């Protein structure tokens, strides 16, 4: 989850505290927020980046310090480019476009189509711009590996750059990167191939998709299934099934597990491993999604900010165990006495 707490793309003490508490969560995988592959690919000036040596050094040091205090846990990072949603104010300052005369920058996109009608249009990327961004994704993957990241997820959802290529709402190009489905997926696939080549084969690489734009004429679940097939054939390890974000006209029927059906359909139709996400809040709900074969993984966002010990409580409820930091191993209440398994504490 974006924290909007970086300085010039560099992780800060906020990340040390935030990552530190989540690394103790007992989750199977902790994913670091959307991390920009270029400076102008940040959503806000305060977004985390991995686009230069200073970002890489800050990430490496901060993650290393946070990890030293927690039980071993796999860490993924989401690589992202904000596209036409770049140059925004942080959410608690309204989240709107920062115009050039306010110190913003001109965002780039597949086509010069504004996200919202009242906004100035982004700059359409030319061939050099596309190659630069593709190479920046690959270079960021190399930096992430050097920083000790175990798995990567490419952000192709929520109306950011790679989703903007996939969706006919934001991509009106007439060259090899726009028009038909095959042309709209061409640049995202180029980026995927470049990252897969730069990222060790033994380390997982997933993709987050917006499986529907929730607007007529947008990217659809059928498109997502076909795109997932192509990604799996190229070595994609999971599809993280999210939705929306490319159009302010979207109408989203929010409800518990409202996106699980996308994970289920993609898993069944394309053979991809899937990750379900979105309003999955209870341990019973998460357990049922995996047990029923709707998805291989469950991702949770807001529930972990609300309760960073969500996994401990879920483990207690489901009769499972977690590994706590030893400092906290006397914390389990009586009705959850077995939750830390064989962890031993003694005193004299």
Ligand X SMILES: Cc1cc2nc3c(=O)[nH]c(=O)nc-3n(C[C@H](O)[C@H](O)[C@H](O)COP(=O)(O)O)c2cc1C
Active site residues: 160
Q: Which of 313, 314, 307, 317 is nearest to 331 (CA)?
A: 313
Size of the site for ligand X (CB under 6 A): 18
Contact between 78 and ligand X per CB under 6 A: yes
DSSP state of 340: T
Q: In the complex, what is the shortest distance from the CB of residue 276 to ligand X, in angstroms, rounded to a whole number?
A: 10
d(C-alpha 293, C-alpha 297), whole Å: 10
Choice from 15, 33, 45, 76 touching ligand X (CB under 6 A)? 33
Contact between 89 and ligand X per CB under 6 A: no
d(C-alpha 185, C-alpha 194), whole Å: 14
Contact between 208 and ligand X per CB under 6 A: yes
Dihedrals φ, ψ of 304, to 5°?
-80, -25
d(C-alpha 50, C-alpha 137), whole Å: 9
Contact between 273 and ligand X per CB under 6 A: no
Tokens found for residue 114 = 């504004």
Spell out, one character per residue from 289 to 328, where the chain touches ligand X: x when CB under 6 A holds, - when not: -----------xxxx-------------------------
Tokens found for residue 107 = 């965002």
Contact between 155 and ligand X per CB under 6 A: yes
Contact between 134 and ligand X per CB under 6 A: no
Q: In the complex, what is the shortest distance from the CB of residue 208 to ligand X, in angstroms, rounded to a whole number?
A: 5
Q: 3-state DSSP helix/strand/coil percent for the chain, to nearest 5?
A: 40, 15, 45
Q: Closer to ligand X by CB, 46 or 277: give it.
A: 277
Q: Which of 291, 284, 311 is nearest to 300 (CA)?
A: 311
Q: In the complex, what is the shortest distance from the CB of residue 174 to ligand X, in angstroms, rounded to a whole number?
A: 30
Q: Who contacts 249 (Cβ-Cβ below 8 Å, separation ≥6)?
A: 215
d(C-alpha 26, C-alpha 77), whole Å: 17
Contact between 1 and ligand X per CB under 6 A: yes
Strand (E) or helix (H) holding 206: strand 205-210
Q: In the complex, what is the shortest distance from the CB of residue 254 to ligand X, in angstroms, rounded to a whole number?
A: 9
Q: Closer to ligand X by CB, 254 or 345: give it.
A: 254
Tokens found for residue 270 = 């394309």
Q: In the complex, what is the shortest distance from the CB of residue 47 to ligand X, in angstroms, rounded to a whole number?
A: 9
Choice from 206, 278, 308, 324 touching ligand X (CB under 6 A)? 278
Q: At what angle do helices 310-318 and 283-291 cross, to 10 degrees?
A: 70
3-state SS, 150-164, equals CEEEEEECCCCHHHH
Contact 186, 192 (CB under 8 A): no
Contact between 212 and ligand X per CB under 6 A: no
Q: Closer to ligand X by CB, 160 or 340: give it.
A: 160
Let me know if 160 is exposed, middle or buried by CB neighbors in 10 A (0-12, 13-18, 19+).
Answer: buried
Tokens found for residue 72 = 């071993």
Q: Closer to ligand X by CB, 212 or 242: give it.
A: 242
Q: In the complex, what is the shortest distance from the CB of residue 206 to ligand X, in angstroms, rounded to a whole number?
A: 11
Contact between 237 and ligand X per CB under 6 A: no
Spell out, one character per residue from 36 to 75, where the chain touches ligand X: x when CB under 6 A holds, - when not: ----------------------------------------
Contact between 164 and ligand X per CB under 6 A: no
Contact between 242 and ligand X per CB under 6 A: yes
Q: Closer to ligand X by CB, 147 or 276: give it.
A: 276
Binding residues for ligand X, per CB under 6 A? Answer: 1-2, 33-34, 78, 155, 157-158, 208, 242, 277-280, 300-303
């Amino acid at each position: 989850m974006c924290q909007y707490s970086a300085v010039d793309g560099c992780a800060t003490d906020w990340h040390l505290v935030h990552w530190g508490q989540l690394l103790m969560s007992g989750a199977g995988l902790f994913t670091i927020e959307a991390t920009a592959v270029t400076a102008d690919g940040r959503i806000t000036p305060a977004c985390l980046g991995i686009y230069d040596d200073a970002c890489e050094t800050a990430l490496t040091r901060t993650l290393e310090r946070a990890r030293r205090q927690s039980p071993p846990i796999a860490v993924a990072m989401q690589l992202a480019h904000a596209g036409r949603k770049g140059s925004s104010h942080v959410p608690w300052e309204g989240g709107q476009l920062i115009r050039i005369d306010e110190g913003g920058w001109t965002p780039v996109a597949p086509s010069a189509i504004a996200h919202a009608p009242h906004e100035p249009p982004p700059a359409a990327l030319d061939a050099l711009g596309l190659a630069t961004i593709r190479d920046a994704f690959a270079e960021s993957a190399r930096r992430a590996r050097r920083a000790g990241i175990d798995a990567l997820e490419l952000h192709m959802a929520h109306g950011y750059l790679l989703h903007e290529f996939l969706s006919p709402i934001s991509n009106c190009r007439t060259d090899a990167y726009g028009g038909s489905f095959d042309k709209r997926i061409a640049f995202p696939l180029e980026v995927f191939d470049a990252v897969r080549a730069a990222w060790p084969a033994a380390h997982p690489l997933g993709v987050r998709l917006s499986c529907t734009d929730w607007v007529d004429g947008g990217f659809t679940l059928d498109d997502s299934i076909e795109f997932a097939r192509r990604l799996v054939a190229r070595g994609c390890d999971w599809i993280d099934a999210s939705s929306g974000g490319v159009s302010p006209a979207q109408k989203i029927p929010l409800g518990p597990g409202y996106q699980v059906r996308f994970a289920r359909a993609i898993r069944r139709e394309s053979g991809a491993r899937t990750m379900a996400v979105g309003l999955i809040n209870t341990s019973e709900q998460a357990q049922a999604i995996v047990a029923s074969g709707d998805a291989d993984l469950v991702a949770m966002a807001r529930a972990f900010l609300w309760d960073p010990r969500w996994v401990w409580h879920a483990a207690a409820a489901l009769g499972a165990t977690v590994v706590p930091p030893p400092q906290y191993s006397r914390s389990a209440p009586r009705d959850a006495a077995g939750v830390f398994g064989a962890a031993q504490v003694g005193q004299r």
